[in-house]
Amino acid sequence: MRLVEQTRKSIQFRLLMLLVAMSAVILALATTLFGWYGWTLQRRQFEQQLVAMANLVALNSAAPLAFDDRETAREDMTLVQQGGTILYAAIRQPDGSLFAEAGAVSENVPPLHHNPGQTSVDYLAGSRMRATTPIVLNDRVIGQVHLEEDLSGMNRQVITVIGSAVVVFLATLLVAVFLATRIGRTITGPITRLAAMVRMIADRGRVDTGDFIASPDEVGDLARGINTMLDSLERSRRDLEQSLSQQRTLFDTIPMPVYAKDLAGTYIAMNHRYALDVLGDKPDLFIGRNRAQAGRGHDPGMLDHLAAREAELVSSGTNTSFEVTGHDANGELRVYRAQLGLFRDKAGASAGLIGVLLDITEIRRIGKELVDVSMREQQRLARDLHDNLGQLLTATAMRIKALEYAVPETDEAMKTELRDVTALVNRSAREARALSHGLNPVDIERGGLLRALEELAASTEVYARMTCRFTSTGTLPDIDKDASNQLYRIAQEAVNNAVRHASATRIDLHLGRTADEIVLSIRDNGRGMPPQRDGTAAGMGLRIMNQRALMIQGTLHCTPRTSGGTDVVCRYPINDGARA
């Protein structure tokens, strides 16, 4: 309120000073212009009168000068000098000698003008103005008229004009001060009333319009408008609180962590699941704070990962989904499927983002148990095929071979039949061994993943009749059996897709590592991977590969090559399960 009052007084004083200064400047300019114009007008009038008299005297003096009548010329000059404000009148001959004069000359006579019809005017000291006019007869200069006039009267008139202008200036200045005061009150009056209105709003929250509606200015209408605005703001505030309450209720009913941020990364909403499970306290403590202000939470690494992906989302504008791991309030490691998306304002511009974290820890655990059960069953079947069926088939082949020796040499048809049966049994034994190896391809004791991928490349060359090469670089860490099996299955599925669906003639398998990842890549030169409908063999193969990568916390990317073919890259993070 003190600031408003100071502002009002400052505005009033400045307006008054501005109006007074402007009035003074305008009046000063007007007075100066008026005096200059009056003096110029008077001087021109006197010049015209003196020139006209000099021309008349020159015309009347031609005859006395031509006939050398000095007496007549002297009388004419006396009449001219005594007739008014002329102080000196004279006629001079062409050689400059004096022919006739009257009055007292002020200074030396100027040179004779030899231009017929031309008159010169000079201003002399002592408030005199001089005019010299040639006397012309028959287009020949025969003499010169010299008149000097007294300017004291003109000077008195100019002083009178200037005095009048000063009086007008002072009168106008008084009027300007009076008007400035009135205008200042007119302008600052509403400001004073506005200050009272603001004070009333600050004290009561409303304005008593009875004090303002009868105002001669429009402050009363403004007061009524402010009351209407305050009522609208109050209704909007209640509606906003109700909407926020509904949003909080809706957020809290969602059985998974949900949060919302603005584009600057500040929390604007979250449910209790996110606040308690991720940040570790009540939602009210984090609303209005950014990542740095929200604290460490239960797992700072997970929050930093989310913040980085949120920045990518804001930059790209494309919704994203990914997996992230973090510890909960009990210190247990949880796996979340994070879904990030932008929301927009009424104008369609991005206003913020919403994040949803789906806890898939149990799904991953159940999936891993199912994979473990499946792998154990496959290993059992592989042992049964190798140890039981394989041995039985081998023994059967040996018995048939013994029967072949027991058949007489003369029975060639029987021997041929027995040899065919032996070959068929031996082929069945090889197929059983191959099937056993396919069910349990990665044998840690027998060379692990490297040996299995080498055999996959070799068998592909034999059965698919194409070039298939396997290479490895770097010092690879020991990989646990589960991850090795999944990586092998991904490579096997990618090779099968290239052979069956891409018509490739060359496949390159590579296993390497970076600082914190194991990288498996399968590259072919086929026709690429066309869009697949759900349920097709290739489409199912891609989903299976992606699911296998997720089971080992890895990522899978399938991208077409510019030169033709497909690159399949699986990245498996090096952790406790993979030791250098």
CATH (domain of 146): 3.30.450.20
Q: Based on the domain organization, do 367 and 355 belong to the same domain?
A: no
Q: So what's the pLDDT on residue 533? A: 44
128 lies in some domain: yes
238 lies in some domain: no
Q: Based on the domain organization, do 61 and 134 belong to the same domain?
A: yes
Q: Based on the domain organization, do 410 and 355 belong to the same domain?
A: no
Q: Based on the domain organization, do 577 and 455 belong to the same domain?
A: yes
Q: Based on the domain organization, do 36 and 75 belong to the same domain?
A: yes
Q: Based on the domain organization, do 341 and 413 belong to the same domain?
A: no
Q: How far apart are CA 430 and CA 394, in angstroms?
A: 10
Least-confidence region, from 310-324, 388-402, 454-468, 500-514: 388-402
Q: So what's the pLDDT on residue 189? A: 62
Where do the H-state alpha helices sit in 358-513? 361-383, 390-406, 412-439, 448-464, 481-500
26 lies in some domain: yes
What average pLDDT does the segment 473-496 reach?
Answer: 86
Domain edge (last residue) among 440, 471, 504: 440
479 lies in some domain: yes
Q: Given a cut of 50, is residue 103 above it in pLDDT?
A: yes
- Total of domains in the chain: 4
239 lies in some domain: no
Please name which of 544, 540, 538, 535 lies closest in space to residue 524, comparing C-alpha atoms.
538
328 lies in some domain: yes
Instruction: Using a pLDDT cut of 90, give the percent of the chain over it.
Output: 10
Q: Are 157 and 42 in contact (CB under 8 A)?
A: yes
Domain edge (last residue) among 130, 158, 186: 158
562 lies in some domain: yes
Q: Based on the domain organization, do 79 and 140 belong to the same domain?
A: yes
Q: Based on the domain organization, do 349 and 271 belong to the same domain?
A: yes
Q: How far apart are CA 10 and CA 137, in angstroms?
A: 79
- Band (267; pLDDT cuts 50, 70, 90): very high
Output the average pLDDT for the chain. Answer: 77
- Band (114; pLDDT cuts 50, 70, 90): very low
What average pLDDT does the segment 396-413 reach?
Answer: 75
Can you give the CATH number for the domain in which 478 is found?
3.30.565.10
205 lies in some domain: no
Q: For the chain, how many residues are written? A: 580
State the DSSP H helix or E strand holding residue 114, giving kind and residue range, or none if neither: none
Q: Based on the domain organization, do 401 and 481 belong to the same domain?
A: no
Backbone angles phi, psi at 226, to 5 degrees: -65, -40
Domain edge (last residue) among 410, 440, 470: 440
- Band (389; pLDDT cuts 50, 70, 90): low
- Band (239; pLDDT cuts 50, 70, 90): confident
What range defines the domain where residue 294 resides?
254-359
Q: Given a cut of 60, is residue 513 above it in pLDDT?
A: yes
Which of helix, strand or coil describes residue 175? Answer: helix
What average pLDDT does the segment 56-79 reach?
Answer: 85
Taking only the tens place, the pLDDT of each residue in 308-357 is: 999 999 999 888 888 888 888 888 888 898 999 998 888 888 889 999 99
Q: Based on the domain organization, do 258 and 343 belong to the same domain?
A: yes
Q: So what's the pLDDT on residue 65? A: 83
